[in-house]
Amino acid sequence: MKNTDIWGKVVGFIIAGLYLVFFEGNQTFEWILFALVLFTVGIPHGALDHLLANPHIQRRDLTRFILKYLGIIMLYLLVWTMIPALALISFLIMSAYHFGQSHYLRERLLIGKGFCYLGTGAFYLGAILLGNFEQTESILSPIVAIGSFYDVGLLLLGTSVIAVFFILRKNKQIHYPIYLAEMLILGTLLFYLPLLVGFILYFGFWHALPSMSEEYQSLKFSLGDNRLSQFFLRMLPFTAASIIGMGIILVILYPTNTTQELTLLFFVLVSLISAPHIWYMNGFLESRH
């Protein structure tokens, strides 16, 4: 699985190309693509957090881990219900950091690491959301009115590329032109793709798959024989729990809510499982060096 991340990005570009040439506006294609990427890499990449914390975790520690994970989820749910705008802003900042982090899995950033993660992730997330501003605005309308933030968003997009450029250039060991080229090419593509297509391609092939590959590299020695099948097998319990849990909530709310409301609810559920995942993943990635 060493070069899976690179192949994944090639596949991501191919799917984007196929979509633009043959399936543009085809909602069936969009939903199938979304579900497929979400179920095969999107959710599973976060289903091994317990092993990243401790590859040989035993029942007692696993229980403690689950309780801690659920505690973070509950606390964050409380924030969503009491101060939704704050919960949303924290979700966007956490996500930007987390997405940015997965662009530099093979690098060792010595200067401005946190800002570089944040800037890179903010750029890609910004491209996805600003390129489909009206839809983003309408999904978020039950929480906040973002209508007047378009120009600020564009400014943030420009600032983040420039900031990342300077940070990467300061890190002399990094070959920065490749990252900038990727930002410009992928950023433009994500800006023009529809919201959920752009999001799922980026999430699946630029974030989840590279992260999964890194998880495998780190866990493979503790997986015994048939390590690849063991790796996938161990993802099953928490993947299934997340999909079933989120599915039940969405199915119950389906009859009384619009598609926009269900989309927002889906992302709120994603944010709930992402909060502890981002925390544990950061601990895992930062402990490698």
Ligand X SMILES: CC1=C(/C=C/C(C)=C/C=C/C(C)=C/C=O)C(C)(C)CCC1
**Interface residues with ligand X (CB under 6 A)?**
46, 91-92, 95, 98, 125, 129, 136, 139-140, 195, 199, 267, 270, 274, 277
The token duo for 229 is 């099948």
Helix (H) or strand (E) holding 134: helix 133-140
The token duo for 114 is 């946190």
Among candidate residues 281, 273, 267, 278, the one with its CA nearest the CA of residue 95: 278
Nearer to ligand X, 23 or 266 (CB): 266
The token duo for 275 is 């909060």
Whose tokens are 């949303």? That residue is 88
Nearer to ligand X, 97 or 174 (CB): 97
Q: How far is the CB of 53 from ligand X (least distance, A)?
A: 16
Q: How far is the CB of 125 from ligand X (least distance, A)?
A: 6
Q: How far is the CB of 136 from ligand X (least distance, A)?
A: 5
Contact 235, 44 (CB under 8 A): yes
Q: How far is CA 255 from the centre of its chain?
A: 28
Nearer to ligand X, 95 or 160 (CB): 95
Nearer to ligand X, 136 or 179 (CB): 136
Q: How far is the CB of 169 from ligand X (least distance, A)?
A: 27
Whose tokens are 């390590």? That residue is 227
Whose tokens are 């990427």? That residue is 37
Q: How far is the CB of 142 from ligand X (least distance, A)?
A: 11
DSSP state of 104: -
Q: How far is the CB of 281 from ligand X (least distance, A)?
A: 8
The token duo for 19 is 């979509």
Nearer to ligand X, 160 or 274 (CB): 274
Nearer to ligand X, 72 or 111 (CB): 72
Q: How far is the CB of 95 from ligand X (least distance, A)?
A: 4
Which of left, alpha, beta for 174 (phi over 0: left; psi -120 to 50: alpha)? beta
Nearer to ligand X, 91 or 123 (CB): 91
Q: Helices 259-286 and 209-219 meet at what angle, rounded to 10?
A: 30
- Quick check: helix, strand or coil at residue 197? helix
